[in-house]
């Protein structure tokens, strides 16, 4: 009695092991190739390997697949870049590497307080549907248009919620780890007011007083301090960890940094 070769099993095994970080790119590719190569006992078939997926990078034995990069690109519609900057696949991979490093650190420190509730996720999702420019144009406030928006960008509701949950988790972790204990000197607030804010107003325009905008200036400067600490910490994580970009197409990537508050942002 002939026994069917376990092609499908090997294919699923290759992807499963790659996602769990238990197999690097070469082995995953071998397993995928094995799935598409007929046994000698079978009738000859065209030897055309079918690549189900590929490993883009490995972060401390955790694989990041090419499909993860593609999904990150689709999800970027929910978080448009500053100044209309378009997310490239190389920068998307860098974001995934940084996120993997941070989430691994969160798990090591057992930061349970950082896990957002479904209520927080729903609130953030509601903000996106009301305020995201692409959503405003498509009127995503209605369920029907929101569903159409997701379909148009190849997204699913569950995946969007998971994406937002991870983002909120990381933001909460950063807040708890880096923001506490930072003090912004009054002199720094005054310098920002005179050197950064005031020059943005044309002659004759009403200028807010320092007392009025001081809280917002303090928030911007505080965020800049947090970003500086976070960037250094993330850079050290990457240096101390084992990060390998497997796919040569992603090797010349730019390092990602946390966004900083713009000059006078939200002060007018």
The per-residue pLDDT for 138 is 80
Which residues of the chain fall below pLDDT 70?
Answer: 1-51, 80-85, 110-114, 252-268
For the residues of 85-133, what is the DSSP string, one character each? Answer: PPPPHHHHHHHHHHHHHHHHHHHHHT-GGGPPPHHHHHHHHHHHHHH-H
The per-residue pLDDT for 94 is 92
pTM: 0.64
Q: Which ranges in the chain are annotated with CATH 1.10.4030.10?
A: 54-250
The per-residue pLDDT for 234 is 92
The per-residue pLDDT for 128 is 87
Q: What is the tens place of the pLDDT at every residue in 51-75?
A: 678 999 999 999 999 999 999 999 9
Q: Of 202, 204, 213, whose CA–CA distance to 264 is shortest?
A: 213
The per-residue pLDDT for 263 is 36
The per-residue pLDDT for 80 is 65
- Residue 158, classed as helix, strand or coil, is helix
Distances (CA, A) of 198 to 47, 150, 192, 193, 229: 69, 42, 9, 6, 28
CATH of 54-250, one of 3.40.50.300, 2.40.50.320, 1.10.4030.10, 1.20.210.10: 1.10.4030.10
Burial class, 51, CB count within 10 angstroms (exposed 0-12 / middle 13-18 / buried 19+): exposed
């Amino acid at each position: 009695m002939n026994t069917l070769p376990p092609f499908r099993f090997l294919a699923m095994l290759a992807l499963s092991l790659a996602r769990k970080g238990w197999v690097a790119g070469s082995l995953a590719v071998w397993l995928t190739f094995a799935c598409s190569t007929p046994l000698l006992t079978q009738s000859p078939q065209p030897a055309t390997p079918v690549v189900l997926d590929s490993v883009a990078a490995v972060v401390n034995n955790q694989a990041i697949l090419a499909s993860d990069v593609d999904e990150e690109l689709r999800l970027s519609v929910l978080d448009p870049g500053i100044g209309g900057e378009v997310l490239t696949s190389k920068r998307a991979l860098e974001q995934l590497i940084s996120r993997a490093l941070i989430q691994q650190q969160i798990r090591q420190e057992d930061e349970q307080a950082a896990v957002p509730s479904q209520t927080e996720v729903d609130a953030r999702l509601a903000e996106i549907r009301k305020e995201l420019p692409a959503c405003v144009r498509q009127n995503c406030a209605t369920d029907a248009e929101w569903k159409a928006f997701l379909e148009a960008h190849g997204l699913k509701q569950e995946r969007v919620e998971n994406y937002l949950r991870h983002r909120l988790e990381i933001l909460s972790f950063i807040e708890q780890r880096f923001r506490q204990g930072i003090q912004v000197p009054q002199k720094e607030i005054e310098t920002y007011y005179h050197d950064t804010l005031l020059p943005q107003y044309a002659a004759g325009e009403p200028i807010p007083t320092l007392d009025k905008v001081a809280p917002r200036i303090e928030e911007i400067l505080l965020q800049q301090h947090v970003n500086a600490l976070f960037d250094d910490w993330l850079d050290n994580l990457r240096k101390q960890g084992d990060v390998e970009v497997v796919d040569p197409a992603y090797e010349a990537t730019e390092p990602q940094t946390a966004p900083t508050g713009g000059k006078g942002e939200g002060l007018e």
